[in-house]
Amino acid sequence: MQSKKPIFFILFITICAVTIGVTAGAFYALLNDLPEIRSLNTFHPSSVTRIYSSDNVLLAELFVEKRDPVPLDDIPDTLVKALISTEDRHFFEHTGIYLKGILRAFVKDILAGQFVEGASTITQQLAKTLFLTSQKTLTRKIQEAFLSFQLERRYTKKELLTFYLNQVYFGSGAYGVKSAAAIYFDKDVKVLDLQESAMLIAMLKAPSRYSPHVNMELAITRRNIVLKQMLTEGIIAPPSFDQAIKTDIHIAPKKKISTKAPYFIDYIKNNLPETIDHKLLYQGGLTIQSTLSYELQEFSDFSILKKLEDLKERMKKRGIAEPEPQAALVSMDVKTGGILAMSGGIDYQGSPYNRAVSALRQPGSAFKPFVFALAIEKGFPQNKLILDAPISYTGANENDSWTPQNFSRDYKGEITLREALALSKNIPAIRLIDMLGASSVINFAHAMGIKSRLKPNLSLALGTSEVSLLNLTSAYSIFPNKGEYIEPHGILQILDHNGRSIWRTAPRKKIVMSRSGAAVMTDMLEAVVQEGTGRLAKTIPRPVGGKTGTTDDCKDALFVGFTPSIATGVWVGLDKYETLGAKETGARAALPIWVNFMEKAALKRPYEYFDIPDDTVKIAINTETGKPEAEDSPNAVMALFKKGTEPVQ
């Protein structure tokens, strides 16, 4: 049998060292503050940051430790007394350490031949939690004693209890008593009853062992020990004890950490102001008030899943079963730039890649409005005639020729700009960019918020350069917003843990089109809905403008459109950049999602009309010739013109 003499000798030396250390520590504490203690003057426990929607729905919680600091006055007295009776009966008497307890613990250590009991007071436990490691060494115990004296000297017992109950770990990811009450009982800590309070304190001895989520039987046994201790101490009466141990325990099931609008939350985290660093975001207990409407977000997700089912059925009939089609939707407030809804795909868990923000895809004909808008800004009226007839371009090498075609494969001869855009004719758009210059169109598109690289060739008019859906949608919002660009954003305000505002949004704004030019373009995009490829959107009970987009082989399908207050873009395609199938155009694959969403979203806003500036005039014109026409003529449409450019009879 191994002799215990060496262990006895070590423990004897340890007792002497601790006694000397405690005495020296007490003297030192009277003279000096340790740096760690001084730091507690500004100490704030790590706490949860919460992101809320504009309709006050909790979207996400961000944390390293699940913690919600709470004042002692909000903690039930029975819980505080359960803590003291179980962990430190002499808490209100000692000055940081309890010498009798230390001596008793050392005797047990000697008999056991090893360190088996710590005899730590609440103050010592707090010092260890805040400043030290859990390693049981003589040096650490001496440091713990120093720090405990300092804590007791500087702070009241009430303050120490507040620190402790907000800092200590209760298991299952719960740091602090408020988080523990929510995780284990789905309750506010204020309304915990006696047995629930005892259950939480029971876990402190070993959270991984006594958590009811781990072992209910052990948790109940340990809870009853705490209740028995409270009875012995006279804190509770026998009837209360009897009732508490017989009370059924209702433990909340383990909750998965769920995030609503996950694509949007990722966007928020990637676009925080520079003043909010990673540590502050995950430990600062911030409240982030976002622009997102959770009600509209649900509409967005529902619309995508519902309408993609129809597309998948059509694809299966054509023998296209894999991969599944993807879709993205982004919706924003025209007048503020605030993002109202963002769906970056059909399933975040399956693919967190945000196709509304990060994906660069060809917009197809959805890019054409930028070409036409520049023409309007340069003084072209929307009834200007342009030739819709086959054309061929030859490069420096005669073998390098390009012969573009209309998607419809038919040609109408001379056609107005209005009808060319409404019917999404390719040849007029190409002739127009040739007249304006591709570089001019690129500069104009960049001014309107398109941030990706655009290639300076004539096919740009057909949307062959890749853009993001968010950029495209925000650029479209310029038309109903009187020519003003507003940088899209997702955060309204950030509050610190005390509820004080530390950041407010100030989105970048700039005028990029004349008000009259924006109004004329809005009128032309209304024609797309009323007379052209976007007719399905006529069901929206608001004024509506927009544009379809389809790329070669139907690899991308888009519709971007707006009411006077909401701009929304929808993209549908395959991640592998393969065809959706013949005839899966923007009007067929993307527009139904847009309509399903906007039929609900538009009604959330009051009825408004598109802007008609004083320097514009509306005149009835013939749809084919562009000449003035009697308003009651079957071939007449009402078209908006800048004054001085309108047609004369």
Rounded to the nearest 5°, which phi and psi values hold at 529? -80, -40
Per the annotation, the verdict on 365 as an active-site residue is: yes
Which token pair is 560? 């971007």
d(CA 35, CA 352): 44
Upper half-sphere CA count for residue 509 (Cβ side, 13 Å): 13
d(CA 459, CA 403): 11
d(CA 386, CA 421): 11
β-strand pairing of 174-175 with 66-67: parallel
Rounded to the nearest 5°, which phi and psi values hold at 442? -60, -50
C-alpha closest to that of 373 among 574, 223, 545: 545
CB 456 within 8 A of CB 438: yes
d(CA 475, CA 333): 12
Active-site entry in 53, 85, 148, 365? 365
Angle value at C-alpha 208, between 202 and 212, nearest 5 degrees: 55
CB 68 within 8 A of CB 48: yes
Integer CA distances (angstroms), 261 to 144, 158, 339, 599, in order: 46, 41, 12, 20
CB 55 within 8 A of CB 34: no
Q: How many CB atoms lie within 10 A of CB 566?
A: 24
Residue position matching structure tokens 């538009």: 602
d(CA 529, CA 551): 20
Q: What is the DSSP letter of 516?
A: H
284 pairs with which residues across the strands?
47
Q: Give the three-class secondary structure for 161.
A: helix
Neighbouring residues of 93: CB distance < 8 A, sequence distance ≥ 6: none
Per the annotation, the verdict on 87 as an active-site residue is: yes
Length of the chain in terms of residues written? 649
d(CA 550, CA 363): 7
Angle between helices 591-601 and 294-317 (to 10 degrees): 160
CB 457 within 8 A of CB 450: no
Active-site entry in 87, 196, 377, 629? 87
570 pairs with which residues across the strands?
329, 559
d(CA 356, CA 467): 10
> End-to-end alpha-carbon separation of the chain, Å?
119
Rounded to the nearest 5°, which phi and psi values hold at 329? -140, 135
Longest dimension (CA), the chain: 119
Residue 649: exposed, middle, or buried by beta-carbon count in 10 A (0-12, 13-18, 19+)? exposed
Catalytic machinery residues: 87, 365
